[in-house]
């Protein structure tokens, strides 16, 4: 089963999360989409890297 995680600067009230999830679901039927983290400050690469580094091992390989 394909898995996509999202780590974004989008806030919970933004429409972009819904848009990207809808587009990914349309293009890749059956994909599992997990919002790993949202609300990271824009351009805060260190925070995003910290989140990804400390969460990616919790997901299945592939």
Q: pLDDT tens for residues 1-58?
A: 899 999 999 987 889 999 999 999 999 999 999 999 988 999 999 999 999 999 999 9
Residue 35, judged by CB atoms within 10 A of its CB (0-12, 13-18, 19+), counts as middle
Per-residue CA distances from 43 to 32, 33, 51, 59 (Å):
26, 23, 14, 25
Domain extent, residue 24, equals 3-57
Q: Answer whether 42's CB lies under 8 Å from 9's CB.
A: yes
Q: Is residue 15 part of a domain?
A: yes
Q: Is residue 62 part of a domain?
A: no
Q: Is residue 31 part of a domain?
A: yes
Report pLDDT for 62.
Answer: 74
Report pLDDT for 13.
Answer: 82
- Rounded Cα–Cα distance for residues 10 and 16 (Å): 7
Report pLDDT for 39.
Answer: 87
Domain count within the chain: 1
């Amino acid at each position: 089963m394909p898995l996509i995680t999202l780590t974004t600067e989008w806030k919970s009230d933004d429409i972009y999360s819904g848009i990207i999830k809808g587009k990914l679901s349309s293009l890749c039927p059956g994909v599992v989409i997990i919002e790993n983290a949202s609300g990271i400050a824009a351009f805060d690469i260190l925070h995003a890297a910290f989140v990804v580094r400390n969460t990616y091992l919790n997901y299945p390989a592939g």
